[in-house]
Amino acid sequence: MSTLAGRLATAAAGLLTATAFALPASAAGEVNIYSYRQPELIQPLLDGFTEKTGIKTNVIFADKGLAQRMQAEGENSPADVLMTVDVGRLDGAKALGVTQPVNSEIINGNIPAEFRDPEGHWFGLTTRARVVYASRERVEQNAITYEELADPKWKGRICTRSGQHPYNIGLFASVVAHKGEKAAEEWLAGLRDNLARKPAGNDRGQVQGIYSGECDIGLGNNYYMGKMLTNEKEPEQKEWANSAKILFPTSAEGGTHVNISGVVMAKYAPNREEALKLMEYLSSAEAQQIYAEANFEYPVKPGVEASELVRSWGSFTPDDLPLTEIFAHRKTASELVDRVGYDDGPAS
Ligand SMILES: [Fe+2]
């Protein structure tokens, strides 16, 4: 063996050893998650991920400002992914420039195109329906349309949270998208006239309003009913929830308004490879099942069932207008809320 060949062989062996030695460290890497979603909600998912891959997860939770924080941290941001709710926030993170595109065959195979950013900057992980909560005692009908909410027969009987809350803005934007600004404004003024009180509280508060008799119907996301019905910490919420049923509204143009919760890859993700594995895992049937059981939302992956309780509420047809198209009307929706004085409550 020539000296040179010998040296090369030794060098190659050294490289191999170094690579082999380095592998366990990178295989047991970490992912840093910035989350607007409650830690206890996503922990079962993260546990499943760590069990499967050996990759540790670190979560920083806040209910606002995380995308701005990523922007301020810039290249030094430790964030690998951001988990959040509402397509507005997901697209907002993209607009802030704190995301990067992801192109994964696994993810694209699991998540239907309507729940993904066409440029790959955000991915829906669950869907949630904006439903009508209706008094079991005082509302006989078991079907309803969004249009009907503006019918004077509901005068003084409807409760909602602020019209400017993203959940309502999403719904109102879908009305603008379907019917145009003018018709949407008339509809919103009609809905305002039917309010029982000035918009206040959160979605659960509207169910409480039904329980207390202040209103007969309310607007809210489907999963709050699940959370209330299983709330051991505040068992009075079970009673509130038991006083109401869920109606999945339809409209002349389509089905029930849905929004998504989802995930983005941070622009400067220091652990991109591990983060991608996490995103792929979150789209898998296993994770979709865990998520659906934990939070009473709907899986985005076709073929994965919602939880038993959620299924007991019946099925519905989601509005098939693309979320990005609805999202484009959010600003108009917000202006309409101000223009009709929605948050001032019913005109006397
Ligand atoms: Fe929520």
Q: Give the pairing of strands 298-299 and 99-100.
A: unpaired
Q: How far apart are CA 44 and CA 42, in angstroms?
A: 6
CA 311 to centroid of ligand 1, rounded, Å: 19
pLDDT digits over 130-163, tens only? Answer: 999 999 999 999 999 999 999 999 999 999 999 9
pLDDT digits over 38-62, tens only? Answer: 888 899 999 999 999 999 999 999 9
Q: How far apart are CA 201 and CA 324, in angstroms?
A: 28
Tally Cβ neighbours within 10 Å of residue 125.
26
Coil, strand or helix: which one is 244?
Answer: strand
CA 204 to centroid of ligand 1, rounded, Å: 10
CA 190 to centroid of ligand 1, rounded, Å: 25
pLDDT digits over 223-251, tens only? Answer: 999 999 999 999 999 999 999 999 999 99
CA 44 to centroid of ligand 1, rounded, Å: 18
CA 261 to centroid of ligand 1, rounded, Å: 9
Coil, strand or helix: which one is 113?
Answer: helix
First to last CA, the chain: 99
Q: Tokens 């603008």 identify what position?
A: 176
* Local structure of residue 63 (DSSP, 8 states): S
Q: Tokens 């009673």 identify what position?
A: 239
pLDDT at residue 197, rounded to an integer? 97
Helix %, strand %, coil % for the chain, to 5? 50, 20, 30
CA 1 to centroid of ligand 1, rounded, Å: 70
CA 35 to centroid of ligand 1, rounded, Å: 13
Coil, strand or helix: which one is 233?
Answer: coil
DSSP characters for 131-176?
EEEEETTT---S--BTGGGGSGGGTT-EE-S-TTSHHHHHHHHHHH
For residue 235 the two structure tokens come to 């068992």
- Tell me the sheet residues that pair with 261: 85, 126
CA 67 to centroid of ligand 1, rounded, Å: 18
Q: How far apart are CA 194 and CA 300, in angstroms?
A: 34
Q: Give the pairing of strands 123-135 and 217-221.
A: antiparallel
Task: For residue 127, give the nearest of 288, 314, 327, 309 by alpha carbon.
Answer: 288
CA 5 to centroid of ligand 1, rounded, Å: 65
CA 144 to centroid of ligand 1, rounded, Å: 22
Contacts of 98 (CB under 8 A, 6+ apart): 67, 70, 71, 77, 82, 264, 266, 267
- Global pTM reads 0.86
Per-residue pLDDT of the chain (348 residues; tens, 9 = 90+): 334 444 444 343 333 333 333 333 344 599 999 999 988 889 999 999 999 999 999 999 998 999 999 999 999 999 999 999 999 899 999 999 999 999 999 999 999 998 999 999 999 999 999 999 999 999 999 999 999 999 999 999 999 999 999 999 999 999 999 999 999 999 999 999 999 999 999 999 999 999 999 999 999 999 999 999 999 999 999 999 999 999 999 999 989 999 999 999 999 999 999 999 999 999 999 999 999 998 999 999 999 999 999 999 999 999 999 998 999 999 999 999 999 999 999 976
CA 249 to centroid of ligand 1, rounded, Å: 19
Tally Cβ neighbours within 10 Å of residue 116.
23
Contacts of 99 (CB under 8 A, 6+ apart): 82, 93, 121, 122, 264, 265, 266, 267
CA 128 to centroid of ligand 1, rounded, Å: 9
70, 23, 120, 94 alpha-carbon torsion, rounded to 10°: 0
pLDDT at residue 22, rounded to an integer? 35
pLDDT digits over 177-186, tens only? Answer: 999 999 999 9
CA 21 to centroid of ligand 1, rounded, Å: 45
Q: Tokens 């904006």 identify what position?
A: 130
